[in-house]
Amino acid sequence: MVKFQEQVLDRTFAALADPTRRALLARLEGEESVSVSELARPFSMSLPAVMKHLDVLSDAGLIEKRKEGRTVSCSLNAEPMKDAMEWLDRYKRFWAGNLDRLAAMLEAEDATERAGKAKPRGGAPRKKPRK
């Protein structure tokens, strides 16, 4: 069971690691279904190259492909991302605690610095002698 979950997470994170694939997923986010040719249009790469990216996303379970006649359409399946988010959430407490401590340290340092600037240095200011 654990090994299967690790494989799913590995495929999900590997698929999400590429900026082109993330852009394809972002394009699918607001649409029910988009044809492969429409998905490929904004990219400066060949249709076969886009198809390879879509295959990686499909293998990771992040998209579903449907063929109607000669048109292949894709739709988003966010379920594997849910599993990835649950995995990342386990480490959220660690990072939140570290970031809270860092913020407190920086605020204390800033307060000390402001307090140091507010005090006059060397006692009372000197008066200029009259001639």
- Angle 110-114-115 from CA coordinates, rounded to 5°: 115
Task: Determine the Cα–Cα distance for residues 46 and 115; give it in Å rounded to an integer.
Answer: 61
Task: Note whether residue 123 is domain-resident.
Answer: no
Q: Say which amino acid occupies 98.
A: N
Domain with 91 in it:
84-117
**What pLDDT, in 10s, does the model give residues 31-52?**
889 999 999 999 999 999 999 9
Residue 103 and residue 69 share a domain: no
Per DSSP, what are the bridge partners of residue 65? 74
Domain of 38: which CATH number?
1.10.10.10
- End-to-end CA gap in the chain: 92
**What pLDDT, in 10s, does the model give residues 87-123?**
888 877 777 777 778 888 888 888 888 887 765 555 5
Other C-beta atoms lying within 10 Å of the C-beta of residue 37: 12
Task: Determine the Cα–Cα distance for residues 31 and 119; give it in Å rounded to an integer.
Answer: 61
Residue 67 and residue 40 share a domain: yes
Residue 53 and residue 14 share a domain: yes
